[in-house]
Chain A
Amino acid sequence: MDSDVLVRVKNLQTFFYQNGRCNKAVNGVSFDIKRGKTLCVVGESGCGKSVTASSIMQLLPELSRIEKGSEITYFSEKGEIRIDQQKRNGKVMRSLRGSEFAMVFQDPMTSLNPVYTIGYQLAENLQYHTPLNRKERKKRSVGLLRDMGIPLPEERVDEYPHQFSGGMRQRAMIAMAMACNPKVLIADEPTTALDVTIQAQVFDLIMKLKKDRNTAIMLITHDMGVVSELADDVVVMYMGNVVEAGTLEDVFRSPSHPYTVALLRSIPILGKGRDQDINPIRGVTPDPYDRPSGCQFAPRCDFFKEGVCDKCMPDATSLSKTHSVRCWKFVGGSGYGN
């Protein structure tokens, strides 16, 4: 057993049930989150990235569930905890959230409660997970804001979210998440709603925290540039499946799945000038209620082969110890003539 693994997600299936239909938002996702490492989950919007994150935190809406056969295991200091078997808002989940697991959301404009001061919302976290008293909590809140690089923390701690700028709010959000020194920080597109210059600052902050506190980070993003700079491990998702997983090196140096290749080809490269070829992926993501029968990417794939790709989804094939891919091209004897 790899002692660095903090969270092991195995064959995660999270389905949504609405309007009498079942949407298989996440359908068989596996990966590990390791101590002191950054795991980047990449994919288009609607591919199940956020649902995966919410599943780990058990923050799913009421009409959805983690299906049987899924495993989310947290290797805590006190032993293994099977998160998928916990009651959604039960005692165990509540004690994990905020203290061992913390989450930073996409839009800092809406993820802070507008009627309470930043300090109040920070202290609330400490109140439930630490034995600190009111005074100490306040002191700690100020300290946290200072650590996150917010100027004049003594004054700003008593201000309301609307008095903060977007970047400052996201810093406050991160302060809140880091309040109890969590083992795992899940950041769900933490910079999508921010300006580009602020984005870099926020990422710098997250990376500094990772280094200083040895926190495991699961970063959800659709920005390949961000991935290439920050990731240790990469998981590429498409329509609820992991299509390719590996180290940054694996995925960026030798992208194997046609979707990964296409994704990488669609990014403009700075400095290459205006003549570069940018190849957008053709087609659109399919309707989640009307999925392709075989490989989910088949209808948009340049390597589509009739009779193979439209039969069923292939299993993961290991290309190396760290690198795996789910594509018929790599399945031996699949009838996919190379």
Chain B
Amino acid sequence: MFAYTIRRFLTLIPMILIMTFLIFLGMDLTPGDAVSFMASPEAMANMSQAQLAQLRESLGLNDPFFMRYLTWLGGVLHGDFGYSLTSGVPIKDIVLSRIPATLELSVAALLISTFLGTILGLVSAVRKGRPVDHILTITGMIGVSIPEFFLGLVALLLFAINLNWFPIGGRLRPEYTVYWDHMKNLILPALVLGVTMTAGVMRYTRSSMLDTINKDYIKTARSKGLPEWRINLVHGFRVALTPVVVLIGFRLPILIGGSVVIEQIFQWPGVGNEFLGAVRSQNYPLVMMIALFSVFAVLIASFIIDLLTAALDPRVQLD
């Protein structure tokens, strides 16, 4: 397992290099003076033209492209992500302050969709061709067809505005003292994001489970006289779970993408909201760095998923 972990980790490195290179290329091509996001605005405010030129030289901005990339990459690896064009705040601080909110929302949605999706998918597969299965299948189709933001709007209107069960938006407020206050804000966006993802997980669990149920070893298990629940759960579901975990890994980018829209609707102060603001104000360095962050998040998540798959399926490590 350890060797596998190391091996899998090493394959991440070229990907990270390519990604950072592309992002740097993007920053280089988009309009804006590189000095303005590489030096803090206070430092720049009281600088003469000559000093600026000197700063340029010292920051290595006159170097050839590839050298500049390496300098920049070194900075990134040391946690220097540059400065936001509009506010002049270090990008690192902006992103770090927003990450907890996004993580909270994504994890909650991931848990909801995984639990609901696998259980419903399992039920659907075991009851294949019966009314429950038909209802779940059609509900699932409807689920993937409704735009998540539309579902969010309807949920907002229904549960926050009309029924007044939940606050309309936001996350933490000064008046919040009990943990439940905080939860109340999380539930609605997490449910909307989770439910939109559930349909996909359910569908996939169903087909993976149906695939497994037809395998020879299920017949073997039945020939041993095991009870049906054990055949379905211990022999079927346990095997069917591996591809489902892989799928959930594949869907993480969709989760992050989905949270951009949901964060906007529920005024959730996460990275996605910041990203939208940056796109709207054409704050290129911030846009690029958040994109880079999201790629990192996806790569690390897929790394973890791979390890999880290896733990679930004893055959994987041998490959």
Contact = CB atoms under 8 A, between A and B. Distances in A.
A touches B in complex, CB < 8 A: yes
Contacts of B7: none
A309 to B, nearest CB: 38
B215 interface: yes
Classify the interface of chain A: helix, strand, loop or mixed: mixed
B119 to A, nearest CB: 20
Interface in B264-319: 312-315, 318
B239 A97 contact: no
Interface in B68-107: none
Contacts of A76: none
A112 B220 CA distance: 7
Contact of B225 (A111, A113, A114, A129): A129
Interface string B230-262: 100001001100100000000000000000000
B175 interface: no
B224 interface: yes
Task: Determine which residue in A89, A98, A113 has the highest number of CB atoms from chain B within 10 A of its CB, and name it.
Answer: A113
A154 interface: no
A59 interface: yes
A97 B225 contact: yes
A95 interface: yes
A91 B192 CA distance: 43
A100 to B, nearest CB: 9
B314 A162 contact: yes
Nearest to A129: B225
A31 interface: no
A237 to B, nearest CB: 21
Nearest to B129: A62
Contacts of B230: 124
A57 B223 contact: yes
Interface in B47-84: none
Nearest to B228: A89
B227 interface: yes
A94 B228 CA distance: 9
A162 B225 contact: no
B221 interface: yes
Contact of A115 (B222, B228, B312): B312
B216 A107 contact: yes
A96 B225 contact: yes
Task: State the main secondary structure of chain B at its contact with A.
Answer: helix
B223 A97 contact: yes
Contacts of A125: 224-225
A59 to B, nearest CB: 6
A333 to B, nearest CB: 46
B219 interface: yes
B216 A111 contact: yes
A320 interface: no
Given A110-B216, A111-B219, A124 B314 contact: no
B40 to A, nearest CB: 55
B16 to A, nearest CB: 32
Most buried by A among B225, B314, B315: B225
Contacts of A110: 215-217
Contacts of A111: 216-217, 219-220
B226 interface: yes
Interface string B178-204: 000000000000000000000000000
A204 B230 CA distance: 33
Contacts of A160: 314-315
A219 B314 CA distance: 33
Contacts of B220: 103, 105, 111-113, 173, 176
A128 interface: yes
A105 B242 CA distance: 25
Nearest to B227: A94
B120 to A, nearest CB: 21
Nearest to B242: A115
Which of B222, B224, B239, B313 has the largest count of A CB atoms less than 10 A from its CB?
A: B224
A99 interface: yes
B219 A115 contact: no
A128 B313 CA distance: 25
A102 B223 CA distance: 7
B221 A128 contact: no
Given A114-B315, A162-B315, A59 B225 contact: no
5 contacts: A97-B225, A105-B216, A105-B220, A115-B238, A124-B221
Given A105-B216, A160-B315, A162-B318, 16 more contacts: A97-B225, A98-B224, A98-B225, A101-B223, A110-B215, A111-B220, A112-B217, A112-B220, A113-B220, A115-B239, A115-B242, A115-B314, A124-B230, A129-B225, A176-B220, A176-B224
Interface of B: 215-217, 219-228, 230, 235, 238-239, 242, 312-315, 318
- Of all A-B residue pairs in the complex, the 6 with the closest CB atoms, nearest first, are A98-B225, A97-B225, A98-B224, A110-B216, A113-B217, A111-B216
